[in-house]
Structures are given as C-alpha cells and as structure tokens.
Amino acid sequence: MRLWVMMTLAFCLVGAVPSQGAEVMRSSFPVRTDSHQCHDVRGAQVSSIRFDNLRDVAHAVIMNHTPYIVLNPTRLKTLPPKLQAFFYEHECAHHILGHNYNPTLSSEPEADCLAIKVGRDKGLFARADVLAFRPWIEPLRGSLRGHLPGRQRHRLMTLCYDDDEPDPLMAERMDVAAAAATRFRKAARRRASE
Ligand SMILES: [Zn+2]
C-alpha cells in the first residue's frame, strides 16, 4: 500500500495525544467526516479515510492529485467530540491553506488558528470548549516540522479564538479557497446536468 509513502508528505496534527495524565472520554466517532464539509485550496472536495495504523491522530494528504483527510479512529475515539472536531478542522485547514503544496514552518500554527476560527464561526466551539482542550494539548511536545510546544500551542489557540480581527493573509487565502469551492461546485453541477 502506498499510503504510508504519501504520509511522508503529509502534515501531522500532533506527535501523540496523551491518554494518560488526562481525562479520557469515550465518545462517538466520527464527529465530522462528511466530504462536503471540507474543500481544498483548489476547491476540490476533501474526503476522509480511516486508517487505524496511522501514527498520529490525523493527516492531510494528497494522493493521485486528490486531497484526503486520513483519520485514526482508534486514537480519535478516546477524545472528546469537540476535540475530534478540532482535529478534523485542523487537517481541513491544511487543505484550505494549500500547505501540502507550499509548506512553511508556520503551517502548523496557521492550521491551528484557522481551525479554531472556523469552528468558532460555525458555532462548533465555544470559548469554554477551547479552554477544555488544554489537558490534551499542553502535554504535547513541539516538533521540527513546526508544531509549537503544547503550552504555547494552546495559548495560541485561545488567542485565535479571541481574535476578531481578520488576518489579511489568512482572509485572502480563505477568499481564494471559497472562490475555488464555488467554481468546483458549478463545474460539478454542469457535469451532473450533461
Ligand atoms: Zn497539522
């Protein structure tokens, strides 16, 4: 299976979500894996794949020019539903921002921030939900790929929740993604009517 090869090109969400030292809540899975809920920077629909042997909670990958979110059900089902939703939004944010095509050291914080803001604006996350992520996020180590150490990471997530000012670069990227999604939907409707 070539999946693992593609993983090397993928963005991972976290090194490992701690299952000890933090309250582990069993919850239903998946929270959100509807392919219509995520579009990438080109406007393509992002489907979800379940892969139990994934070393992380989730990955954003491109396979055969098609964007996917790979989810690890075994790890995700140990987490609260809102945190599962955050992980999904984080991977979707990588696709929205085109990070698989143009990765930078700020890709991970950008994905965290956009995931929080998108979840907030959709009414998915209350501020208390983001604060409640702390026992899971804070113990995480940072990574050379750009993951912030857990304490900083959670603080950034909270700041992003509180930030109402549109980020010009982020706003521009979101506009590009939204426009591409509209084009994609129109093209799909045209194909369906042919
Ligand atoms: Zn990531």
Domain ranges of the chain: 3-15+22-193
Model pLDDT for residues 172-181, shown as the tens digit of each residue: 766 666 666 6
**Ligand 1 mean position, distance from CA 140 (Å):** 13
What's the gap in Å between 187 CA and the centre of ligand 1?
30
Beta bridge partners of 51: none
Decide if pLDDT at 35 tops 90: no
pLDDT per residue over 71-120, tens digit each? 999 999 899 999 999 999 999 999 999 999 988 888 999 999 999 999 99
Q: 69 pLDDT exceeds 90?
A: yes
Query: Cα(165)–Cα(185) distance, rounded to whole angstroms?
Result: 29
Q: What is the pLDDT of residue 34?
A: 47
Sorting pLDDT into bands at 50, 70 and 90, what band is 28?
very low
Pull the structure tokens for residue 134.
């702390």
Span from the CA of 108 to the centroid of ligand 1 (angstroms)? 5
Q: How many CA atoms lie within 13 A of 168 on its CB side?
A: 0
Pair 107, 99: CB distance under 8 Å: yes
CA of 34 to the centre of ligand 1 (A): 19
Q: Is 139 exposed, middle or buried, given 0-12, 13-18 or 19+ CB atoms closer than 10 A?
A: middle
